Amino acid sequence: MGQAVVVGAGVGGLAAAGALARAGWRVTLIEQADRLRTDPAALLIWPNGLRALRSLGLGDGLAAIGTPVPPGGLRRADGSWLVQPGVAAADRQIPVVVHHEDLHDVLIAKLTDRVEIRTGITVKSGRGDNHDRPSVTDGRTTWDADLIVAADGTSSTLRRIVAPEAGVASSGYAAWRAVIPWYRAPQLGGDVVFGGETMGSGYRFFAASLGDRGSAGGSTRGGIYWQATVAGAARPESAATQLNLLRRWFERWPSPVSELLAATEAGDVVQHDVREVTPSPLRVGVPSGTGGIVLLGDAAHGMAHHLTQGACLAFEDAAILASLTKETLPGQGLRASVSAYSAARASRGAEVARQSKRVGALLADRGRVATRARDAAFGLLQPRVLDKARASAANWFPPK
């Protein structure tokens, strides 16, 4: 098999590096941070992401760490129900919630000795043309390979080689995530339902349970996961100040929102300045030399996380890349695989981005009068649009 360089050791980069190595590729995994690590929060994985992980041989590990999220209903910020808990449309998609560190451990465990890990390296540029092997460099050292996988996030350095027309812009939202470990989690009333969302004008709050209370013992990896989305830019203040702002913004919201924020400590909170790749790239792979360069994950299709599909799309990318490059030798066959990957993933990313923008338009802050008018139709419109968008995003299956 050939040689690959994967730039970025997030969940998508780890999944791709492991898949290529298990297929016989020699892989160099380059990470900017000084070690492989992840944040202490959690994330949702929808059915399409689960299928992708299973196709990559990661299903067993995921089954041990994922907690299904039941239909928890949909509420307005005043506590009134738009969709009652437990009521699910026929096509309602059910995700699982996993602790980010648990998922990270599963992905790390699947790396083989064919993966050389290089940390503390910032890739500054790359090269791809029709004659030489593609390469990347940090300004001092150059790595060339048959296949370069750019999994370096929304602000990808290598995207300008593949999709120079695509830039990065603010999504208009910031997001915060946290896991409250069970030993600090509040004791909530029996009428509190997890897995549901509460929505207001420009604000959104979601909470889910990571296992059952006490199931993780003293581990910080079990607990209650929450995510808050707020219209506006990321906050520059300290984590403690950001947490105080969240408590103030959501202080009158129905249970368990205020209780969860009260039990959260500043060290639990992870903020995201949610940015998007725009316009959607016309291609996410370019043939070069003996193979080519491909974009993966947020480097290819970073978007507002209204559908929380970022990790899932990265796993889809890794699954398609693994399928197309399996038993493919460097040369014309690999160049063709890069082109096939680009055609499949560019259109897929653009479609999910369109669905995400549609949901975002419904959540936008419109002012009091417009919000009341929207809420009059919210009970019929919002759940249908949200379910349709989620069903469309999750309607993906790996190649057989």
Domain holding 113: CATH number? 3.50.50.60
Please answer whether residues 245 and 235 qualify as being in contact, where contact means their C-beta atoms are separated by less than 8 angstroms: yes
**Residue range 139-158, pLDDT digits in tens:** 999 999 999 999 999 999 99
Q: What share of the chain is helix, strand, coil (3-state, %, to 5)?
A: 35, 25, 40
387 part of a folded domain: yes
Q: Are 150 and 9 found together in one domain? A: yes
> Are 55 and 131 part of one and the same domain?
yes
pLDDT computed for residue 130 by the predictor: 72
| Predicted local confidence at residue 217, as pLDDT | 43
Question: Does residue 40 sit in the same domain as residue 154?
Answer: yes
271 shares a domain with 156: no
* Torsion sign over Cα 110, 112, 115, 118: positive
Tell me the C-alpha distance between 61 and 396, whole Å: 21
What domain range includes position 152? Answer: 3-72+89-168+276-364+383-394
Within-domain flag for 27: yes
- Residue 199 falls inside a structural domain: yes
Shared-domain flag, residues 28 and 104: yes
The last residue of one of the domains, among 251, 275, 299, is 275
Per the domain annotation, does 111 fall within a domain? yes
Looking at the structure, tell me whether residues 186 and 232 fall in a common domain: yes
Note whether 348 and 394 are within 8 A (CB): no
CATH number of the domain that residue 267 is part of = 3.30.9.30
Quick check: is 195 in a domain? yes
SS (H, E, C) 322-388: HHHHCCCCCCHHHHHHHHHHHHHHHHHHHHHHHHHHHHHHHHCCCCHHHHHHHHHHHHHHHHHHHHH
| Together in a domain, 28 and 94 | yes
* Whether residue 106 is found in the same domain as residue 137: yes
For 14, the token pair is 């780890």
Domain boundary among 232, 251, 275: 275
- Note whether 147 and 179 are same-domain residues: no
* Measured distance CA(365)–CA(368) in Å, rounded: 9
Residue 210 lies in a domain: yes
Last residue within a domain, chosen from 260, 275, 290: 275
Written as tens digits, the pLDDT of the chain (400 aa) is 799 999 999 999 999 999 999 999 999 999 999 999 999 999 999 999 999 999 999 988 888 899 999 888 888 888 888 888 876 555 567 899 999 999 999 999 999 999 999 999 999 999 987 768 999 999 999 999 999 999 999 999 999 999 999 999 998 889 999 999 999 999 887 777 788 889 888 899 999 999 877 654 444 588 999 999 998 889 999 999 999 999 999 999 999 999 999 999 999 999 988 899 999 999 999 999 999 999 999 999 999 888 999 999 999 999 999 999 998 999 999 999 999 999 999 999 999 999 988 887 776 655 555 555 555 554 555 667 788 888 889 999 998 8
The answer to whether residues 174 and 267 belong to one domain is: yes
pLDDT value of position 335: 96
Regarding whether 258 and 180 lie in a shared domain, the answer is: yes
Q: Is 375 inside a domain boundary?
A: no
Structural domain contains residue 155: yes
Looking at the structure of the chain, the number of domains it has is 2
pLDDT value at residue 228: 96
Within this chain, do residues 98 and 208 fall inside the same structural domain, yes or no? no
